[in-house]
């Protein structure tokens, strides 16, 4: 791979026709002979704009997900009789480098120079004037609901449109619709053919077919951005199947502010298959570094479908008053490792012929690829070879070889699978040298989220030992395998014994004891560990039962650590968890506290009482979500009608009253009004005492003698 290096300031001068241009800079931060790429820091300016300042391609490439090469795309307007000057200036005692430069002309007013009054400034009553002189830095360009659109398939300007799945957050990701080849896109004067390729308008993401679920969540995308800048947010829409006004109407929110109320794509576009886009400008303050876009059905319009839709999304950073687009380099959590092999599918440039220019319709494209020679653009595919290996003390948990795992699972025999999930499969097995059975969880190689969860769980569980927490025995991270080894829980998950199975139903007292054990595990995480831990995915499938029916909280892949000795201090973070168990306050405000676990545990308590899932889409709309349905039943005093039929007549009235009150308090909409887990433990223990007292009273009245409290085995 060739590149041009600079020990001093160096300027390229490009004679261009006036108008807006895409300027793309290509960096491949590999090791080059005689140079330490980790010490390369430099600035880049174009005409009067600072594009990069003290930039390190090495540090940027090491951020998650790691990148083999970097493409920085800018929009710069060239004036009359003006050249485009691109200047590279090394930082003191450093050097600059560049692997490729690309300049592509674009139509006037595609992004800049829009008429005043057409751009709303979010969270104000003002409009924003985006002048031709404004420089833009492309932050994100997404084909929402579709696959990646490579530059050669763009509408003439060699833009790359990435799929959106990596930027969706929240438990519900909606439904992706792509490859609708039968759809006909009818471009207009307002939305010309070069605005976005047909692939963008033929694919989309909607919320899904269930109106109840849709009305209780926001279809949301979250983006990391640089603080202290204005951003242009462009949303692309096209209804390919709906035909009438008021069939699908929704609200648009940007950074928690209403950007558009009652958006009806058919009404705005005036027809089916007609693409449109809407632009907004939002300010991201110095204290923030996230930008999010959310869609939600508009109930006031009473549309035919309670749904929302988005086809494409573009986000651009706008230069500040000093003409700068520069931001600090990222700070990786761990020291980045140079990747000698490509780690991300993408395009790069290969030495070849000089390309002077080409004409495409009315769009003039000038391709200037520079290194030690001029280059011609080509494509290549590459695979990820490296794994983010974090250091885990051998005293904390054991490292197993792939050979050990293959022996234990009989080469991952499907007959030994005891569980399946988004992370991958869980196998039952015997590892040489360990006398007891173990559970082996294998990361699905196609899971992007699993790698982070893998290391999070190792780091978390290797420091925790408690009777009501699952024990991590060890791990394996060889040959691209990521595997966790736990104690095997003979009786499976709590959910296995509540519904949709052939297991003998649990007695009420046994359910209480299991709930108490799980609550103690969560209490230990919140206040017993040196650093408080928020589980963030409390549910019945993450409560395991050992051979004596002791409950153990499991699956710490989504857990977050909070400040030492500080309770209920919110952590601002992306929303993750499981739909039906998720704290609505956490979802709305992005503030995670221990009370988020309390809410989820409240859902678990009612799941134990009613023996039904947290979300059941086979039921009537108002019964789909267990949390909202059970609260309505409590309010109407009809709770006994939805209790597990097996438990009818087996729960003491006093115990039931206390249990329902505990669970109800956990589901309070406001987090600070919910009890702490230590209080939940105490109240559950009190409920158990009431149940035992009622049982003893019945036995005495029947003339029986109580010699001892029944054991777990007797209760089964």
SS (H, E, C) 403-434: HHHHHHHCCCCHHHEEEECCCEEEEEECCCCC
pLDDT at 368 over 60: no
pLDDT at 586 over 90: no
In this prediction, residue 346 has a pLDDT band, given cuts at 50, 70 and 90, of very low
Give per-residue pLDDT as tens, 598-614: 999 999 999 999 999 99
Residue 398 pLDDT: 86
Among the listed ranges 333-347, 582-596, 658-672, which one has the minimum average pLDDT value? 333-347
Place of tokens 């990747």: 339
Q: Which residue has the higher pLDDT, 679 or 356?
A: 679
Residue 584 pLDDT: 87
Q: Which residue has the higher pLDDT, 398 or 267?
A: 267
Among 57, 7, 24, which residue's Cα sits nearest to residue 338?
57
pLDDT at 230 over 90: yes
Q: What is 642-680 written as a DSSP string? A: SS-GGGTTTS-HHHHHHHHHHHHHHT-SSGGGSPPHHHH
pLDDT at 350 over 80: no
Q: Which residue has the higher pLDDT, 262 or 577?
A: 262
- For residue 291, the SS3 value is strand
Helices (H), 140-197: none
Q: Which residues contact 332 (CB under 8 A, 6 or more apart)?
A: 59, 62, 63, 64
The pLDDT > 90 percentage for the chain reads 55
- Alpha carbon 348 to chain centroid distance? 28
Residue 556 pLDDT: 82
pLDDT at 533 over 70: yes
Q: Which residue has the higher pLDDT, 291 or 62?
A: 291
* Sign of the dihedral defined by the CA atoms of residues 611, 534, 286, 29, in that order: negative
pLDDT at 569 over 70: no
In this prediction, residue 716 has a pLDDT band, given cuts at 50, 70 and 90, of very low
The pLDDT > 70 percentage for the chain reads 83
> What b/e readout covers 164-180, taking b as 16+ CB neighbours within 10 angstroms?
beebbbbbbbbebbeeb
Q: Is domain 495-701 in CATH 1.10.510.10, yes or no?
A: yes
| Average pLDDT over all residues of the chain | 83
d(CA 522, CA 677): 7
**What average pLDDT does range 142-156 have in this prediction?**
93
Residue 433 pLDDT: 76
Q: Which residues contact 579 (CB under 8 A, 6 or more apart)?
A: 171, 172, 213, 217, 615
Residue 670 pLDDT: 87
Q: Which residue has the higher pLDDT, 517 or 331?
A: 517
Widest CA span in the chain: 107
List the structure tokens of 622: 């108002």
Q: CB pairs under 8 A, 24+ apart, for 163-168?
A: 164/205, 164/221, 164/313, 166/65, 166/448, 167/140, 167/142, 167/221, 167/222, 167/223, 168/219, 168/220, 168/221, 168/222
Give per-residue pLDDT as tens, 509-529: 999 999 999 999 999 999 877
Q: What is the dihedral of CA 317, 318, 319, 325, to 10 degrees?
A: 10
Say how many residues make up the chain: 716
Q: Which residues pair with 657 in a beta bridge?
A: none
Is 226 a known active-site residue? no
Q: Which residue has the higher pLDDT, 339 or 331?
A: 331
Place of tokens 């889409």: 617
pLDDT at 462 over 60: yes
List the structure tokens of 155: 């509408």
Residue 530 pLDDT: 66
In this prediction, residue 308 has a pLDDT band, given cuts at 50, 70 and 90, of very high
Residue 621 pLDDT: 81
Residue 712 pLDDT: 37
The HSE-up count of residue 45 (CA atoms within 13 Å, CB side) is: 13
Specify the DSSP class assigned to residue 358: E
pLDDT at 532 over 70: yes
SS (H, E, C) 2-67: CCEEECCCEEEEECCCCEEEEEEEEECCCCECCECHHHCCEEEEECCEEEEEEECHHHHHCCCCCC
Q: Phi first, then psi: what are they for 496, rounded to 5°? A: -55, -20
Q: Is 509 annotated as a binding residue?
A: no
pLDDT at 622 over 70: yes
Q: Which residue has the higher pLDDT, 462 or 214?
A: 214
d(CA 211, CA 207): 9
pLDDT at 715 over 80: no
Residue 385 pLDDT: 28
C-beta neighbour count of 197 within 10 angstroms: 20
Q: Which residues contact 674 (CB under 8 A, 6 or more apart)?
A: 595, 598, 599, 602, 665, 666, 667, 668
Q: Which residue has the higher pLDDT, 141 or 695?
A: 141
**Predicted model pTM:** 0.52
* Sign of the dihedral defined by the CA atoms of residues 388, 392, 397, 402, in that order: positive
Query: For 398-487, which CATH class?
Result: alpha beta
137, 154, 251, 537: the catalytic one is 537
- For residue 568, the SS3 value is coil
Place of tokens 């030992």: 465
According to CATH, the topology of domain 1-109+327-382 is Jelly Rolls (2.60.120)
Residue 646 pLDDT: 95
> What b/e readout covers 608-620, taking b as 16+ CB neighbours within 10 angstroms?
bbbbbbbbeeeee
Residue 471 pLDDT: 85
Give per-residue pLDDT as tens, 650-695: 999 999 999 999 999 999 988 889 999 999 999 999 999 999 988 7
Q: What is the dihedral of CA 409, 412, 416, 418, to 10 degrees?
A: 110
Residue 449 pLDDT: 52
pLDDT at 425 over 60: yes
CATH architecture of 136-318: Sandwich (2.60)
Residue 81 pLDDT: 86
Q: Which residue has the higher pLDDT, 559 or 460?
A: 559
d(CA 686, CA 696): 15
**All structural domains of the chain with their residue ranges:** 1-109+327-382, 136-318, 398-487, 495-701
Helix, strand, coil share (%) of the chain residues, nearest 5 = 25, 30, 50
163-177, 418-432, 481-495: which is most confident: 481-495
Place of tokens 């700068």: 324
The answer to whether 136-318 and 398-487 have equal CATH topology is: no
List the structure tokens of 631: 């609260």
Q: Which residues contact 85 (CB under 8 A, 6 or more apart)?
A: 11, 12, 13, 14, 45, 46, 47
């Amino acid at each position: 791979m060739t590149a041009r290096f600079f020990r001093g300031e160096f300027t390229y001068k490009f004679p261009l026709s006036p108008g807006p241009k895409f300027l793309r800079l290509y960096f491949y931060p590999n090791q080059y002979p005689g140079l330490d790429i980790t010490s390369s820091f430099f600035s880049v300016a174009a005409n009067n704009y600072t594009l990069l300042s003290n930039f390190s391609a090495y540090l940027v490439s090491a951020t998650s997900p790691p990148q083999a090469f970097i493409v920085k795309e800018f929009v710069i307007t060239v004036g009359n009789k003006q050249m485009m000057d691109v200047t590279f200036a090394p930082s003191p005692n450093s050097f600059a480098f560049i692997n490729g430069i690309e300049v592509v002309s674009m139509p006037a007013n595609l992004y800049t120079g829009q008429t005043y009054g057409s751009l709303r400034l979010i969270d104000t009553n003002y409009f924003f004037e985006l002048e031709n002189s404004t420089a833009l830095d492309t932050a994100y360009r997404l084909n929402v609901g579709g696959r990646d659109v490579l530059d050669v398939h763009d509408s003439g300007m060699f833009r790359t449109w990435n799929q959106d799945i990596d930027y969706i957050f929240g438990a519900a990701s909606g439904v992706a619709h792509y490859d609708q080849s039968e759809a006909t896109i009818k471009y207009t004067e307002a939305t010309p053919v070069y605005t976005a390729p047909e692939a963008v308008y033929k694919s989309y993401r909607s919320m899904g077919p269930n109106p109840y679920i849709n009305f209780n969540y926001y279809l949301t995308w979250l983006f990391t951005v640089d603080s202290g800048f204005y951003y242009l947010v462009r949303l692309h829409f096209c209804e390919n199947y709906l035909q009438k006004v008021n069939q699908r109407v929704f609200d648009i929110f940007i950074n928690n502010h209403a950007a558009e109320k009652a958006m009806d794509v058919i009404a705005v576009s005036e027809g089916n298959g007609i693409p449109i886009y809407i632009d907004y400008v939002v300010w991201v303050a110095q204290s923030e570094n996230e930008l999010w876009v959310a869609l939600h059905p508009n109930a006031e319009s009473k549309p035919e479908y309670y749904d929302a839709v988005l086809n494409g999304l573009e986000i651009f950073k706008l230069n500040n008053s000093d003409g700068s687009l520069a931001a600090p380099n990222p700070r990786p959590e761990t020291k980045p490792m140079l990747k000698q092999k490509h780690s991300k599918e993408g395009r790069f440039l290969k030495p070849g012929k000089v390309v002077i220019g080409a004409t495409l319709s009315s769009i003039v494209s000038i391709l200037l690829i520079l290194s030690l020679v001029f280059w011609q653009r080509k494509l290549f595919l590459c695979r990820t070879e490296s794994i983010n290996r974090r250091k885990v003390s051998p005293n904390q948990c054991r490292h197993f070889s792939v050979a050990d795992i293959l022996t234990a699972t009989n080469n991952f025999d499907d007959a030994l699978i005891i569980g399946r999930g988004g992370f991958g499969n869980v196998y039952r097995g015997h590892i040489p040298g360990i006398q007891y059975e173990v559970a082996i969880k294998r990361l699905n190689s196609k899971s992007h989220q699993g790698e982070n969860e893998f290391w999070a769980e190792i780091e978390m569980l290797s420091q925790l030992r408690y009777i009501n927490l699952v024990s991590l025995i060890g791990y394996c991270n060889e040959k691209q395998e990521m595997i966790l080894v736990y104690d095997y829980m003979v009786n499976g998950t709590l959910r296995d014994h509540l519904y949709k199975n052939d297991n003998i139903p649990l007695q009420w007292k046994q359910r209480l004891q299991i709930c108490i054990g799980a609550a103690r595990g969560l209490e230990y995480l919140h206040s017993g560990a040196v650093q408080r831990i928020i589980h963030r995915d409390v549910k019945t499938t993450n409560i395991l039962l050992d051979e004596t029916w002791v409950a153990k909280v499991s699956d710490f892949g989504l857990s977050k650590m909070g400040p030492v000795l500080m309770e209920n201090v919110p952590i601002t973070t992306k929303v993750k968890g499981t739909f039906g168990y998720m704290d609505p306050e956490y979802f709305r405000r992005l503030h995670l506290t221990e009370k988020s676990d309390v809410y989820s545990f409240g859902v678990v308590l009612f799941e134990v009482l009613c023996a039904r899932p947290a979300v059941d889409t086979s039921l009537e709309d108002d019964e789909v979500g267990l949390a909202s349905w059970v609260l309505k039943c409590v309010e109407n005093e009809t709770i006994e009608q939805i209790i597990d039929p097996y438990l009818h007549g087996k729960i003491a009235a006093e115990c039931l009253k206390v249990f329902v009150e505990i669970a109800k308090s956990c589901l309070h909409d406001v987090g600070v009004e919910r009890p702490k887990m230590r209080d939940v433990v105490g109240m559950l223990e009190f409920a158990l005492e009431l149940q035992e007292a009622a049982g003893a009273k019945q036995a005495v009245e029947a003339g029986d003698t109580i010699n001892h409290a029944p054991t777990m085995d007797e209760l089964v």
